[in-house]
Amino acid sequence: MKVKRIALSPSGKKYSINDLNISLNINEGELPRTKLKDDLIQTSKGEYVHLYDANFKDNFVNIQKPAAIINPKDAGMIIAKTGMTKDFVVIDAGAGSGALACTLASLCKKVYCYDINEKHVEAVNQNISDLELNNITCELKDVYTLEPVEKVDLMTIDVPEPWRVLEVAKKALKKGGYLVLYTPQITQAQKAILELDQDFHHEVTCELIKRDWEIEGEKVRPSHTMLGHTAFLTFIRYYPKLVETKIVKKTNPKKSARLERLKHKKELSAEEELKTMNSFNEI
């Protein structure tokens, strides 16, 4: 059920309010149902509790997680780096818990997500319903053999063999569209990149390291613990070529002349060295 409002106690503790028609009992006393839409309530124990409307994030934290989910730092990078807008149509494979798919759906026009695990598809559909998203579908399908239903601006891939998605990506992506691989292991990214043909342009593979800080009075320092590794992100752009193209290296005439001179000098010194060696041999 969707969280409607959040009650914030004087100690900073947060309580979720799912039903605005039922009074809520919290440690600080009772919050009467008739006041749940107010901004401030005095509880039955005389404590003041502030209330505010819940947003996507307040609900997102409660999603079912049958599979490891994408970390917000990585989801944020995908959104920023691909220039995702409210007009984007996206394919997300495999959906897992739907964390990435739902995050994208909260911002863009349409998300199609797919997974081969029935339980994961069920959980994702429950999450979609709990988050009240109406622009996302999740189906039980193998993404390696997917027949896309429409052209998309972005494909996000979180499956064990991302190189097997390249042919599907060609059918699915609009010209200039993005293919983003989320791979826990760098060898997965490497294998996919090695299999790219000239219709794909590998922009960058990166890893984001996030370090939290503790700031409490005089104590200002990094946290003792941090999440060491999530995954590598590989950004690939689809630029289908109408004719076979060769990469022609630009040459700088001044640099080329200098290189020629150096080469000539080296050849001369090599010749001289040979002559000297020969004369030694003659002795």
Ligand X SMILES: C[S@@+](CC[C@H](N)C(=O)[O-])C[C@H]1O[C@@H](n2cnc3c(N)ncnc32)[C@H](O)[C@@H]1O
- Alpha-carbon distance of 94 to 114, in angstroms, equals 5
Place of tokens 């009467």: 32
Q: Which two tokens stand for residue 117?
A: 């695990």
208 binds ligand X (CB under 6 A): no
Q: Which amino acid is at 212?
A: D
Q: Taking CB under 6 A as the rule, does residue 159 contact ligand X? A: yes
Q: How far is CA 9 from the centre of its chain?
A: 34
42 binds ligand X (CB under 6 A): no
Binding of residue 206 to ligand X (CB under 6 A) = no
| Least distance CB 124 / ligand X (angstroms) | 8
Q: How many CB atoms lie within 10 A of CB 202?
A: 15
Structure token pair of residue 269: 């010194």
177 near ligand X (CB under 6 A): no
Least distance from ligand X to the Cβ atom of residue 176, Å = 24
CA distances from 250 to 2, 14, 82, 197, 260 (A): 58, 60, 28, 22, 16
Minimum CB separation of residue 161 from ligand X in Å reads: 7
60 lies in the site for ligand X, by CB under 6 A: no
Cβ–Cβ < 8 Å for 230, 74? yes
Binder of ligand X out of 7, 100, 108, 181 (CB under 6 A): 100
* 183 scored as a contact of ligand X (CB under 6 A): no
User: Which region, judged by CB under 6 A, interacts with ligand X, from 4-12, 90-98, 168-176, 232-240?
Assistant: 90-98
Q: What is d(CA 146, CA 142) in angstroms, rounded to the nearest whole number?
A: 6
| Shortest spacing between CB 178 and ligand X, in angstroms | 16
Instruction: Give 3-state DSSP helix, strand, coil % of the chain, rounded to 5.
Output: 35, 30, 40
Position among 9, 62, 117, 205 found at the interface with ligand X (CB under 6 A) = 117
> Is residue 106 near ligand X by the rule CB under 6 A?
no
Note the residues at the interface with ligand X (CB under 6 A): 67-70, 93-94, 96-100, 114-117, 120, 142-144, 158-160
